[in-house]
Structure 1
């Protein structure tokens, strides 16, 4: 019985870890796609594919019709999940794709560690989230561990793939993407908090709303700027098989990853910083995949950094129990 209670109590954290793994896998094909077709076309194309896939899956597996996909959510659902999609997916992911294309997955992923801080500040203003000093220590330990393992490479690593763009731009865009993603998590949590007091909305449908809102806003901006042809040309040409890489990234990122993230956030009631801290472990998950795909050597510093980062997550998750134990 105690094992069952433990699994139920920390189901949100387990789903958050599964989310992190899925997103990590998606980083690699998205990085390759962004380098082949450009970050902006990839961002547009993967949103369209994600909406199509999520719509088909929702119609097949959710007890709702196509019309109900649009009509069953309340206006507040469209507001909060829509804003979450616009800030987290439309803005945040475009910035992230640019950063990954310039700096590479391993260096670019360091900036994800800024997301918990963004989530904590946004959560304070939007949902009144509180966190004790032990939780803050956990966040700081996690960030320190991930930064250490990510920067354990030589200084020349920061100049990796310089031909893909300006390194300073990659750094700035990486930091801004983390802020957008952290804020997007809190806005999604706001939507789930609202529905707990009014009506239940399937987490998969919440994902669909985020994708629809993000898709509409990026294409609206592109059309207003007169850049639609510029965006669609690399996609139609399928430059260097960018289509296949984008499809692979879309499955693991917007479809599986984002859906799992919505489930995790819905389970982690009023604790978006916990979810975002677990999501920020992507650089830890990147290590073995970098070895698998790029044959990058895993050093002792990298292993120690990963252990430190995971320790920080454990402290954050158990912060209330630790506070009671210590005091």
Structure 2
């Protein structure tokens, strides 16, 4: 809100058309609340490896939804570049699972479905955000509207489940965790979402979501230099494939 006050002159964009409220609010609920809830459930049921593999499908699902509802079409060369990028990401994600989850068949299927639901939620959230940002409208205002609706819904759900007091108590007794959450919120949900919606607003959803799906690739240098993890030849090969796809996207788009 402080950034919005500095750049837009108001703390909150109150005077916004109902249609924008609807699409940006829907984007926040479907993408940030529902999508993330299913993703976290998938983490519990089948572990991070398969969950992130399901999330690597977001660019494909986004492109299909944007084609149906927004009329955005990708050329065959762009489809090939997106496929190459997603393939490289999947190759890296599937390398190993440091925390494997033993699951029976029912739990496994529920986890896969939760992962797919999370991917669909994030894809729908991106498309809805693009609808809400259509025309001459500030992306920062769109981010604030989207976050506000999502926050209200999440706190309402937390209140219904009786989780507000235990959560606040845990944060009060762990100042370090609170600092990390605040820092992560600035870098991820604020700056990250802001620039991602700029990308969605300016580029086709399928292309923008492909570039946003590069997180497993971009985290490799961090894992190596900060957490001293060894980067395998497979990870390097998958990264090279993904970056080739990205280069082709910029060449053909």
After TM superposition, the score normalised by the length of structure 2 is: 0.85
Cα distance in 1 between the residues matched to 2:63 and 2:130: 12
Cα distance in 2 between the residues matched to 1:185 and 1:89: 10
- TM-superposed deviation, 1:115: 0.6
Does the 8 Å CA contact 1:103/1:158 hold for their aligned counterparts?
A: yes
Q: Which residue does 2:179 correspond to in 1?
A: 244
Cα distance in 2 between the residues matched to 1:112 and 1:293: 25
Does the 8 Å CA contact 2:59/2:207 hold for their aligned counterparts?
A: yes
Alignment CA distance shift 1:110-1:252 (3 Å)? farther
Does the 8 Å CA contact 1:81/1:206 hold for their aligned counterparts?
A: yes
- TM-superposed deviation, 1:214: 0.3
| SS, match of residue 318 in structure 1 | helix
Matched residue count? 249
What are the superposed Cα offsets for residues 42-83 of structure 1, whole Å, 9 maximum, x if unpaired?
xxxxxxxxxxxxx12111232x333x6212x21111111111
> For 1:190, which of 114, 122, 131 is the aligned residue?
131
- TM-superposed deviation, 1:168: 7.3
| SS, match of residue 98 in structure 2 | helix
Q: Which residue does 1:46 correspond to in 2?
A: none
| 1:61-72 paired onto structure 2 within 5 Å | 61-62=7-8, 64-66=9-11, 69-71=13-15
- TM-superposed deviation, 1:259: 0.9
Q: Which residue does 1:201 correspond to in 2?
A: 137
- TM-superposed deviation, 1:145: 0.9
- TM-superposed deviation, 1:98: 5.3
Q: Which residue does 1:114 correspond to in 2?
A: 57
- TM-superposed deviation, 1:99: 5.2
Cα distance in 2 between the residues matched to 1:242 and 1:94: 21
In structure 1, the gaps of 5 or more residues are 1-54, 321-327
| 1:120-199 paired onto structure 2 within 5 Å | 120-153=63-96, 157=98, 159=100, 172-193=113-134, 196=135
After TM superposition, the score normalised by the length of structure 1 is: 0.67
- TM-superposed deviation, 1:158: 5.3
Cα distance in 2 between the residues matched to 1:248 and 1:161: 33
What are the superposed Cα offsets for residues 225-271 of structure 1, whole Å, 9 maximum, x if unpaired?
444334444333338x3212211210111111011112222221xx1
| 1:1-327 paired onto structure 2 within 5 Å | 55-62=1-8, 64-66=9-11, 69-71=13-15, 73-97=16-40, 103=47, 109-153=52-96, 157=98, 159=100, 172-193=113-134, 196=135, 200-238=136-174, 241-268=176-203, 271-319=204-252
Cα distance in 2 between the residues matched to 1:231 and 1:249: 17
- TM-superposed deviation, 1:187: 0.9
| SS, match of residue 159 in structure 1 | coil
> Root-mean-square deviation (CA), in Å?
2.8
Cα distance in 2 between the residues matched to 1:246 and 1:160: 26
Cα distance in 1 between the residues matched to 2:245 and 2:238: 11
Does the 8 Å CA contact 1:110/1:283 hold for their aligned counterparts?
A: no
- TM-superposed deviation, 1:306: 0.7
Cα distance in 1 between the residues matched to 2:17 and 2:213: 31
What are the superposed Cα offsets for residues 153-172 of structure 1, whole Å, 9 maximum, x if unpaired?
3xx5351799xxx8877655
